Amino acid sequence: MANSIEITKATLRERVVVDVTVWMNDPEDYDFSPRAHMSEGTLHIQNAGQDGVSSNFDLEEEMLIAAERDRLIELRVKFGVHGMHGTLTHKHPLPKDGPNSKKLAEPRWKTLLPLEFVPKSR
């Protein structure tokens, strides 16, 4: 299960693109099913089955128009695991940088997520 979800950035390209960072507790945990809904100009993203883990973001007017037109968002997810993708405590004295340097793999995926609109409360 997801421990926390954070919307880092939302941009408008051909559609609304939302960058999300998701922190998991265990590297063998694959239980992440994002759901998105809009209410009164605010985008809410949460994991299915987890009511306490969600993130909110206020969209600009242009993004709101595009989201209502398309009824979907492009979600770009960057995963992190507590204890594995944190701050390095022991850095190597000779870090390699440049065109031949090797980088650690970063778990990422991109998907189109249907957007549900919650009716305005009166």
Distances 48 to 5, 38, 78 between C-alpha atoms, Å: 12, 15, 17
**pLDDT for the residue 70:** 94
- pTM, to two decimals: 0.78
Q: How far apart are the first and last CA of the chain?
A: 35
Q: What is the pLDDT of residues 9-51, one digit of tens each?
A: 999 999 999 999 998 888 788 888 999 999 988 999 999 888 8
The answer to whether 69 and 60 have CB atoms below 8 angstroms apart is: no
**pLDDT for the residue 86:** 57
3-class secondary structure per residue, 14-31: CCEEEEEEEEECCCCCCC
The answer to whether 110 and 77 have CB atoms below 8 angstroms apart is: yes
The radius of gyration of the chain's CA atoms, rounded to the nearest angstrom, is: 17
The answer to whether 41 and 65 have CB atoms below 8 angstroms apart is: no
